[in-house]
Amino acid sequence: MNIPSPSFLEKRRKLKVTIYGPYGEYEKRINGIAQKLREKYEFIDTFIVKDRPDHRQQQPHEDYNVFSRDKSFHYLRRSDVNMFIFYCGAHNESVVVELMELCHSISWKRICSAIMLDKGCNMAALLDAQITVSHIRVDAFNGKNDHCDDEILRFAFAKCTLFLKVKFDSLG
């Protein structure tokens, strides 16, 4: 068994991981996944995009939704790893917009992105096509399983570990 080097363990703490998923009733769940990646696996800089610091000051007359969209797009570019989680029955529209932005405007980030998809869903045909042509690796989980968030966490940990190897030399 290979034991990670101390520098590998230290760089794990510097990897900036942002999770994009539905809010509402799912926000607590995606926050839990981010928290476990921080606490259990020491990917300290892991947050849902909503909890990342504001990237700039919101202008006095700026619409909050426009400001939030800009924040999402900012972190798509700034994060080392972008993870997209799609649950059945959730309002995934925002996650779709974020995925589309990544695929169309910052396609070089696809290599260090991941999609977690509830395999029990029939996603919209255009989303399904976008995922297919994006060539982003998809891990499917069973959303009917009471412990599906643990399954998502295992996928996320594996992806973060893989992406850390890819990004190792670029992390300070």
Summarize pLDDT for 70-87 with one digit per residue, the tens: 999 999 999 999 999 999
Quickly state the pLDDT bin for 3 (edges 50, 70, 90).
low
Q: Show the domains of the chain with their CATH numbers.
A: 6-55+63-170 (3.40.50.300)
pLDDT for the residue numbered 5: 67
In one letter, which amino acid is 22? P
Asked if 86 and 112 count as a contact pair (C-beta separation under 8 A), the reply is no
Give the span between the Cα atoms of 46 and 52, in whole angstroms. 9
Asked if 30 and 1 count as a contact pair (C-beta separation under 8 A), the reply is no
pLDDT for the residue numbered 171: 74
Contacts of residue 46, Cβ cutoff 8 Å, sequence gap at least 6: 15, 17, 18, 19, 34, 37, 38, 160
Compare 120 and 33 and report the one with higher pLDDT.
Answer: 33
Quickly state the pLDDT bin for 11 (edges 50, 70, 90).
confident
Mean pLDDT of the chain: 91
pLDDT for the residue numbered 10: 82
Residue 50, pLDDT > 80, answer: yes
Residue of 53, 49, 61 lying closest to 20 (CA atoms): 49
pLDDT for the residue numbered 1: 54
pLDDT tens-place string over residues 107-142: 999 999 999 999 988 888 888 888 899 999 899 999
Quickly state the pLDDT bin for 8 (edges 50, 70, 90).
confident
Torsion of CA 43, 97, 91, 64, to 10 degrees: 90
